[in-house]
Structure 1
Amino acid sequence: MSGQRAIEILQSVFGFPGFREGQDQAIEAVLDDRHVLAVMPTGAGKSLCFQVPALVKGGLTVVISPLVALMQNQVAILKLSGVKAVTINSGQSRDENVAAWRAAASGEANLLYLSPERLMTERMIAALKKLSPGLIAIDEAHCISQWGPAFRPEYEDLKHLKNLFPDIPIIALTATADPLTREHIADKLFDRDAEIIVTGFDRPNLHLTVEMKVNWKKQLLNFLEGRDNESGIIYCLSRKKTEETAQMLQDQGYNALAYHAGMDQESRTVNQDRFITEPGIIMVATIAFGMGIDKPDIRFVFHTDLPGSPEAYYQEIGRAGRDRNEAVVHMLYGLDDIRMRRTFIENEGGGEERARREHQRLDALLAYCEAPECRRRTLLDYFGEQIEACGKCDCCNNPAETVEGDEVGRVILGVVEATGQRYGAGHIVDVITGKSNEKILQMGHDSLSAYGSGKAHKAPQWRGIIRQLVAAGFLAIDIRGYGALVITDKGRALVKGDTAFRYRLDVVQDRAKTSRVARASRPAIEVNREAEGLLQHLKELRLQFARERNVPAYVIFTDRTLIDMANKRPQSTGDFAKVHGVGEAKLRDFAPTFIEAITHYQSMDAIAIH
């Protein structure tokens, strides 16, 4: 019965005909009062996994979210869909927060959005216990594992929820969790007593490209040629670089804005709102920007610097192409990036164990950067998902020059084997290049036959080859141990001569190649050619509604909804109800105006033709 009610709510409130992969499984488990960890790719509809059960169950659902912007956007979307949702956060006045709490306490609101810091206080916990919520949802659950206790300790405290509310199901959701992170979250939140649902990580509409950093300003400008009217995000590591880059692009005629945590709140809000509501704006930002952003038509994400981990990278590129049309993600990286990232990890102050894990994550991202073949396959392999070569990354479309590496590969594998598969890349390189240090002398590794056999190459070259052996699956990093390199079955096949290894030389793509890769295979937007003008007209109408309500444009209707509307050209409320993403509330509030606009456009179009 509850399953049928869930379908009815999905259709009547949210305007979707059926559940996507994993949604029905997660919803069924929650309605059966089981704990759930759901890992779904960006844009797969994770929020519905707790919003639909909240409406089926009735009563109050508490949603824990890390950012004010994320909470406010979700609440705005729900209200326009006719769902009573509120948030208590630092971005609101005291009177607004008091009103929100009264709505939740009186039963007027179905969903209450809180930050971990707001939730994990004795006073709030005691107040919520009196209300007996029916469900607790933890959004962006990877933060529990990836944000150190020193950064936001309340995320660590969420592990107490299962004991504080023993009879209430908890659902944790994320798009970014490798197998070890999933285990860590499940252990912390549920004592491993939860249903884990993983639907995959692949975003096939994203074109992945990586380039060695040489002249980053020139490389960025080359990439942006012809993108004047596209929305995109450019990530920079520092606040200073963010502002300088935004200014450089403005001087070049681009509509670029800056965003970082050092700006005042009003400036950040103005720039964020412009980016979300206006077309063709480039946001130059630090990682302070993004988690609360759900702009569907971001056509590119460009990293001027190396991110901190595969999870961070995946999270950041996931902001592109949420409308499922083609988008490009391009990263520059160099040796200075690697050094800086290592320094950040060492200076973080999160303890030895956390530093070890972060170094391992960085190693995995470097393996992605060094991938000699399909880059997407390397990235997804990190998250435990295997695919065939994608044909949509730079390694597939423009393979870099590679050289035969069987012998150097066997040398490295031989040293890994001889040293007991207990050491990381640094020690293996020290042995091969003949370094004389305390560890080598103490372990007697200076007596190995391969000691000093690789002096013809410099240490960075050997490290690059090792990263490519990891990327190609000949070596693996023992992330549960201490980052030791271990030989895989494929590596043993190389030792026996049953397979071959080739490695890429460090190259920088020339301007023509970068242009070709960046624009490869991008299809036109999924709208009938004769409906393209109407689509733009509908976007302008949507923007008017968004400005009147002070919400992002996609909160009114997503691009996918407008495309479906432009293609179907509904002439009645019955027709309008069949448009993707139109529930009963939006049918009531927006159908008459949009139908009138469509009818008027068609009549003007007919006059123009005749």
Structure 2
Amino acid sequence: MPLTKEQVLKQYYGYDKFRPLQADIVDWVLYGQDAMVLMPTGGGKSVCFQIPALMMQGLTLVISPLIALMHDQVQALKANGIPSAYLNSSLDGQQQSAIERQVRAGELKLLYISPEKLFTQGYLDWIKTLNISLFAIDESHCVSTWGHDFRPEYTKLHVLKEAFPNVPMIALTATADRVTRKDILSQLGIPEARTFISSFDRPNLSLSVLPGRNRIKIIQNFVAERPRQSGIIYCLSRKNTETIAEALQKAGIKAKYYHAGMPSADRAKVQDAFIRDDVQVIVATIAFGMGIDKSNVRWVIHYSMPSNVESFYQEIGRAGRDGVKSDTLLFYTYQDVMVRKDMIATSELPEDMKEVQNAKLDRMKQYAEAEICRRRILLSYFNEEVTKDCGNCDVCKNPPMRFDATLYAQKALSAVARTNEKVAMSMLIDILRGSNNKKIIDHRYHEIKTFGAGKDLKADEWADYLQQMLNSGVMDIAYDEGHAYRLNNASWAILKEGRKVQLVRYKPFEERQAERETIVPKEKTKKEIIKDALFERLRELRKRLADDKNIPPFVIFSDATLSDMSQQKPISQAEMLNVSGVGQQKYQQYGEIFIREIREFLKTIPKSSSSAGIDSVQYTYQLYQEGNTVEEMAKMRGLSPVTIFSHLSKLYEEGKNIDFSPFINKQQYDEIVRAAKAMGVKKGESVKALYEAMDSKHDYSVIRIALTIWFKDGMQFIGD
């Protein structure tokens, strides 16, 4: 029988259940339909096309823009036992021919290919001869001029749908607002495709913004507080990457810089060292990161402000791809804004695109200056409505005072509605403040009911409140239509249902910056300390194995999987297969090695630590499986033999294979159970009364063993 999608997920990926939307997307693609998938980085986009690829007849062709990313993804697929390969300019003729033979022989399920390679002369004709079951367009935002990483070669991809009209296509991206999404579908020739939008929320990422003063010193302290954690620092200039890397090196931190001015061989060497955990920190321009499928990046710092929210969101998304808690930090100065504006002004973009880029830069500036939950700002940018603050950003951790701004919001939203949603910020402020300028008069806006309704606020105050409203999802903006404000469901709820709006009282940004303080991390509990100690030991084992196999450590197990191991402490095959991310293939390769390491670690934990997260009974079971006697276990653990016997009894009740024959014979068992039945002894009662009734003939441990067997198995009296 063919495997179900749930069985495929467990066997190849080691997960028991799908994340939200994944199962629906898999079913939709298996039904042969086109789809667009928006999921945050680390949200599980790859599963949405890889599982259909494994279940469908034929080959899935994955269009990917970056060579390094293809290499890492194919390496990870092979580690999971999934036949796959890639074709791009990094391969020589012999390697390419070998892969083409595998494709023709039907030996591969997934083939990754760059768009440049796809459109090499005659190559598309070769693709047409293959049994293609699915097209997956990864990083599909690259097809849109409205996106943040436009690639001209991506605009040709519509020919795939023209050549294979009956083959489903799935476009995937982590960052695309409403305008970009519409353009992607149009460019790919699938305008009617169903769009699946997962939550853009990455709750495992903390979000912080700090003033741009003393950046290098703050970075040194930040990294020093996170020993052995991988991180990326993004800079705008090549010079800054080199300066910061040197400063970190002087502080004893393994750091390297990376930028486009380096020889390609040097860049590849640095990237490889980072992937293999030989280098802790990479200080880079934005040229670094998109092509790296490294799941255990624990933090991202922006030394300089990005040019738009999409880029920022994608770059911070390189932290915590495995779902483990990770940190992000943005340094902000107004000088960064001016540098970005100058870059846009001197670019060769057409004027309408410059206008769009400036508007997106303004949204990034609003994020940096915001006094409302930063996660709400990011999610509302991607048109996701959020009703609660996240509690995991610097604003939430140091909340400012808010006031009831419902009346102000109603005035602004009413003005947007009465102007038929055609005005941008500047015009809206003029309307609210009752400015009789020529544009107001020409559009007859001075005649609407809300003209002058906000005279009591200064222009700067209105600008601040409108930005807060936009950032919190109270209204939307249409960049492709003159940046006009748009009303949404939240807007109408405020206007018609009186939904309350809380805003932060206006205060100049410089004043707010001076008040902000760095968050002090809370102290770890004993349980967390022990879990972290095991995690580090497993991480070191993973690194040794990875070096031996010449692969990145995260290909063996992700940090999330090691964290789950550290929590569960599996010491058997069944327990190890219950760890998230451990499938059959991974267990066969590494399961027993990690079980042995966990057992060795447990031996080092003193008795007093059992309450801090070490399961004392399971530890006894581990020692029992290793062949230790009761006396040996008691001595090793610093416990009495009676306690060890109680552990063995509990394990027997749980179904573990415990052999009690060395400790009790048939005659003893018969006498004890007969007496217990006569006295009406019930499970869980003290054995003291039974011990005394039998004139202390049998030890407490022997009595406990007899009752354990009797209560669990319901055995007849021996000898009856």
Alpha-carbon distance in structure 1 between the residues aligned to 2:58 and 2:487: 54
User: Which stretch shows the higher mean deviation, 565-574 or 176-185?
Assistant: 565-574
The amino acid that maps onto 1:514 is T
Q: Deviations over 1:337-386 (max 9, x none)?
A: 22222333344434344333333322332332233322211211111212
The equivalent of 1:276 in structure 2 is 275
**Change over 3 Å in CA distance of 1:223–1:537 after alignment to 2:** closer
Q: Deviations over 1:87-141 (max 9, x none)?
A: 1122333322232222222222221111111113341210011012111111112
The equivalent of 1:30 in structure 2 is 29
The equivalent of 2:584 in structure 1 is 584
**Change over 3 Å in CA distance of 1:279–1:147 after alignment to 2:** farther
The equivalent of 1:514 in structure 2 is 518
User: Which stretch shows the higher mean deviation, 363-372 or 29-38?
Assistant: 363-372
Greater C-alpha radius of gyration: 2
Q: In 1, are the aligned partners of 2:569 and 2:598 still within 8 Å (CA)?
A: yes
TM-fit CA distance, 1:282: 1.9
Alpha-carbon distance in structure 2 between the residues aligned to 1:316 and 1:444: 45
Alpha-carbon distance in structure 2 between the residues aligned to 1:32 and 1:487: 36
The equivalent of 1:557 in structure 2 is 557
TM-fit CA distance, 1:563: 3.0
TM-fit CA distance, 1:421: 6.3
Does the alignment pair 1:110 with 2:109? yes
TM-fit CA distance, 1:403: 9.1
User: Which stretch shows the higher mean deviation, 484-493 or 575-584?
Assistant: 484-493
Alignment map for 1:55-66 (pairs within 5 Å): 55-66=54-65
The amino acid that maps onto 1:140 is E
TM-fit CA distance, 1:73: 0.7
The equivalent of 2:717 in structure 1 is none
Q: In 2, are the aligned partners of 1:436 and 1:446 still within 8 Å (CA)?
A: yes
TM-fit CA distance, 1:181: 2.0
Alpha-carbon distance in structure 2 between the residues aligned to 1:177 and 1:400: 30
The equivalent of 2:548 in structure 1 is 548
- TM-score, with structure 1 as normaliser: 0.85
Q: Deviations over 1:364-415 (max 9, x none)?
A: 3233223332221121111121221122222222134779999999998899
The amino acid that maps onto 1:49 is C
Does the alignment pair 1:538 with 2:541? no
Q: In 1, are the aligned partners of 2:404 and 2:501 still within 8 Å (CA)?
A: no
Q: In 2, are the aligned partners of 1:149 and 1:156 still within 8 Å (CA)?
A: no
Does the alignment pair 1:39 with 2:38? yes
Alpha-carbon distance in structure 2 between the residues aligned to 1:56 and 1:202: 30
Does the alignment pair 1:49 with 2:52? no
The amino acid that maps onto 2:22 is Q
The equivalent of 2:367 in structure 1 is 368
Alpha-carbon distance in structure 1 between the residues aligned to 2:293 and 2:558: 10
Alignment map for 1:59-98 (pairs within 5 Å): 59-98=58-97
Q: In 2, are the aligned partners of 1:259 and 1:284 still within 8 Å (CA)?
A: yes
**Change over 3 Å in CA distance of 1:280–1:353 after alignment to 2:** same
The amino acid that maps onto 1:188 is Q
Does the alignment pair 1:505 with 2:508? yes
The equivalent of 1:484 in structure 2 is 484
The equivalent of 1:467 in structure 2 is 467
User: Which stretch shows the higher mean deviation, 101-110 or 421-430?
Assistant: 421-430
TM-fit CA distance, 1:576: 3.5
The equivalent of 1:295 in structure 2 is 294
**Change over 3 Å in CA distance of 1:408–1:305 after alignment to 2:** farther
Alpha-carbon distance in structure 2 between the residues aligned to 1:580 and 1:408: 49
**Structure 2 gap ranges (5+):** 606-622, 624-634, 639-720
Does the alignment pair 1:173 with 2:172? yes
Alignment map for 1:243-258 (pairs within 5 Å): 243-258=242-257
TM-fit CA distance, 1:328: 2.0
Alpha-carbon distance in structure 2 between the residues aligned to 1:301 and 1:201: 18
Alpha-carbon distance in structure 2 between the residues aligned to 1:582 and 1:22: 22
**Change over 3 Å in CA distance of 1:191–1:55 after alignment to 2:** closer
Indicate the RMSD between aligned Cα atoms, in angstroms: 4.0
**Change over 3 Å in CA distance of 1:409–1:146 after alignment to 2:** same
**Change over 3 Å in CA distance of 1:133–1:347 after alignment to 2:** farther
Q: In 1, are the aligned partners of 2:81 and 2:585 still within 8 Å (CA)?
A: yes
Q: For residue 15 of structure 2, give the secondary structure of its aligned residue in structure 1.
A: coil
Q: For residue 92 of structure 1, give the secondary structure of its aligned residue in structure 2.
A: coil
User: Which stretch shows the higher mean deviation, 340-349 or 310-319?
Assistant: 340-349
The equivalent of 1:392 in structure 2 is 392
The equivalent of 1:239 in structure 2 is 238
Alpha-carbon distance in structure 2 between the residues aligned to 1:557 and 1:500: 44
Q: Deviations over 1:503-561 (max 9, x none)?
A: 24314556982133xx36x9779x87655444333222211221223221110111222
Alignment map for 1:73-222 (pairs within 5 Å): 73-145=72-144, 152-221=151-220
**Change over 3 Å in CA distance of 1:351–1:573 after alignment to 2:** same
Q: Deviations over 1:239-268 (max 9, x none)?
A: 111111111222233322212222222322
**Structure 1 gap ranges (5+):** none
TM-fit CA distance, 1:202: 0.7
Q: In 1, are the aligned partners of 2:231 and 2:300 still within 8 Å (CA)?
A: yes
Q: Deviations over 1:416-451 (max 9, x none)?
A: 89998655446678999999999899989999997x
Alpha-carbon distance in structure 1 between the residues aligned to 2:357 and 2:34: 28
The equivalent of 1:309 in structure 2 is 308
Q: For residue 555 of structure 2, give the secondary structure of its aligned residue in structure 1.
A: helix
**Change over 3 Å in CA distance of 1:123–1:438 after alignment to 2:** farther
User: Which stretch shows the higher mean deviation, 135-144 or 245-254?
Assistant: 245-254
**Change over 3 Å in CA distance of 1:327–1:524 after alignment to 2:** farther
**Change over 3 Å in CA distance of 1:404–1:70 after alignment to 2:** same
User: Which stretch shows the higher mean deviation, 386-395 or 295-304?
Assistant: 295-304
**Change over 3 Å in CA distance of 1:565–1:472 after alignment to 2:** closer
Alpha-carbon distance in structure 2 between the residues aligned to 1:191 and 1:206: 33
Q: For residue 122 of structure 2, give the secondary structure of its aligned residue in structure 1.
A: helix
The equivalent of 2:611 in structure 1 is none
User: Which stretch shows the higher mean deviation, 133-142 or 103-112?
Assistant: 103-112
**Change over 3 Å in CA distance of 1:217–1:463 after alignment to 2:** farther
Alpha-carbon distance in structure 2 between the residues aligned to 1:16 and 1:228: 29
**Change over 3 Å in CA distance of 1:288–1:430 after alignment to 2:** farther
Q: Deviations over 1:191-210 (max 9, x none)?
A: 32212111211111222122
Alpha-carbon distance in structure 2 between the residues aligned to 1:524 and 1:56: 45
Q: For residue 47 of structure 1, give the secondary structure of its aligned residue in structure 2.
A: helix
Alignment map for 1:411-422 (pairs within 5 Å): 422=422
Alpha-carbon distance in structure 2 between the residues aligned to 1:557 and 1:601: 19
The equivalent of 1:358 in structure 2 is 357
* Greater relative CO, 1 or 2 (CA 8 Å, sep 6+): 1
Alpha-carbon distance in structure 2 between the residues aligned to 1:222 and 1:118: 45
TM-fit CA distance, 1:164: 1.6
Q: Deviations over 1:41-69 (max 9, x none)?
A: 22222111111111111321111111111
Q: For residue 131 of structure 1, give the secondary structure of its aligned residue in structure 2.
A: coil
Q: In 2, are the aligned partners of 1:59 and 1:133 still within 8 Å (CA)?
A: yes
The amino acid that maps onto 2:253 is Y
Alignment coverage as a number of residue pairs: 602
Alpha-carbon distance in structure 2 between the residues aligned to 1:546 and 1:564: 19
The equivalent of 1:10 in structure 2 is 9
TM-fit CA distance, 1:71: 0.5
Q: In 1, are the aligned partners of 2:425 and 2:463 still within 8 Å (CA)?
A: yes
Q: In 2, are the aligned partners of 1:534 and 1:601 still within 8 Å (CA)?
A: yes
User: Which stretch shows the higher mean deviation, 113-122 or 551-560?
Assistant: 113-122
**Change over 3 Å in CA distance of 1:125–1:253 after alignment to 2:** same
